[in-house]
Amino acid sequence: MNIDGILEFLNSHASVRQYTDQPVSDEQIDRIIDTAQRAPTSSNLQAYSIVVVRDPAKKEQISILSGNQPHVKNCPVLLIFCPDLLRLRKVCIQSGYRFREEYFEYLLLAVVDAALAGQNALLAAEAMGLGGCMIGGIRNRPQEIAELLDLPPRVFALFGLTLGLPAKPARIKLRLPRSVIRHDEWYETDKIEAGLDEYDRAMRETGIYRGRRISLEEIGPNLEEKTTEDDYGWLEHTARRLANPASARPDLRPFLESRKFGFR
Ligand SMILES: Cc1cc2nc3c(=O)[nH]c(=O)nc-3n(C[C@H](O)[C@H](O)[C@H](O)COP(=O)(O)O)c2cc1C
């Protein structure tokens, strides 16, 4: 095993949103799912399921429900990662125990399991020369997605993963400086600001936000535009994204409660 090669591969990740028409075979999907299943999983509970969507009409519907994202419609295959407590409840019932599913811990556990499996799946796909993009937009309209995929209570669509052969090389996106992420021995609040400023400058210089501003109208009424093109960077973009009421998906918790997920 060549460590430098493996790390270089891991560090070459970039989300891919444009694909050729070349199909992804069923064998490729099985290999990707087998690798997803190798991810660590809390207490070996394996609390997730993966729905494979190839049907063009269904992908188009999901694309619309996910905020009209063209790559969801145009990808050859879409995997949907679903935290799944249905199977585990069945296991409890069969053995004559009560599953304490009202507790938030089980939702959290299943979300972490599904996320780890999703990341393994993306890495497996990238190792096979494919590209992909995770789709959190699938949580925009969770009820309609559940109906479209026939998801039973205790199973919900956490994120999608578009997969296909990249139509062009994707651009690698800078990450926050390590100093913001790494804290030695204790949490070092003081260093956050400098790190964020550094990142803001670096991201702005890449030109990534040109023509991609989040409009103030999405956030609320009577907000005055004070940011020039040159000032608009990661800080402004991120703040606007977080201030947008729709980003918080306020319908999600009531939906999950209605689907028997617990918040106690
Ligand atoms: C859970 C999750 C949800 C995401 N949802 C979307 C999405 O709905 N649409 C999209 O185009 N990208 C989505 N992304 C991709 C991120 O935008 C992307 O990973 C991030 O900007 C970093 O870029 P990179 O992956 O190219 O390094 C999502 C990523 C994650 C991890």
Domain count, the chain: 2
Least confident of 158-167, 184-193, 215-224, 248-257: 215-224
Ligand 1 within 6 A of CB of 134: yes
Q: Is the pTM of this model over 0.95?
A: yes
Residues 47-97: pLDDT tens digits? 999 999 999 999 999 999 999 999 999 999 999 999 999 999 999 999 999
Does 195 lie in the same domain as 165? Answer: no
Question: Is 253 part of any domain?
Answer: no
Does 151 lie in the same domain as 71? Answer: yes
According to the model, what pLDDT value does residue 129 have?
98
For ligand 1, pick from 10, 11, 13, 15 the residue to mutate: most ligand atoms within 8 Å of CB: 15
Ligand 1 within 6 A of CB of 122: no
Distance 98 CA to ligand 1 centre (A): 37
Rounded Cα–Cα distance for residues 156 and 13 (Å) = 27
Does 130 lie in the same domain as 235? Answer: no
Q: What is the mean pLDDT of the chain?
A: 97
According to the model, what pLDDT value does residue 1 have?
75
- Of 50, 45, 74, 47, the closest CA to residue 62 belongs to 74
158 Cβ neighbours under 8 A, 6+ residues apart: 81, 82, 83, 111, 114, 115, 118, 138, 139
pLDDT average, residue stretch 6-29: 98
Distance 237 CA to ligand 1 centre (A): 15
- Residues of the chain above pLDDT 90, percent: 97
pLDDT average, residue stretch 134-162: 98
Does 185 lie in the same domain as 155? Answer: no
Domain CATH code at residue 118:
3.40.109.10
Question: Is 243 part of any domain?
Answer: yes
Does 182 lie in the same domain as 160? Answer: no
- Give the atom of ligand 1 at the shortest distance from the alpha carbon of 66: 8
- Residues of the chain above pLDDT 70, percent: 100
Ligand 1 within 6 A of CB of 156: no
Does 183 lie in the same domain as 166? Answer: no
Range of the domain at 214: 178-247
Least confident of 51-55, 132-136, 218-222, 253-257: 218-222
- Nearest alpha carbon, ligand 1 atom 15: 134
Asked if the model's pLDDT at residue 229 lies above 90, the reply is no
- Nearest alpha carbon, ligand 1 atom 1: 136
163 Cβ neighbours under 8 A, 6+ residues apart: 24, 32, 75, 76, 77, 78, 79, 125, 130, 131, 132
Query: Confidence class of residue 230 from pLDDT cuts 50, 70 and 90?
Result: confident
Query: Confidence class of residue 115 from pLDDT cuts 50, 70 and 90?
Result: very high
Distance 161 CA to ligand 1 centre (A): 10
Torsion of CA 35, 111, 173, 224, to 10 degrees: 160
Question: Is 264 part of any domain?
Answer: no
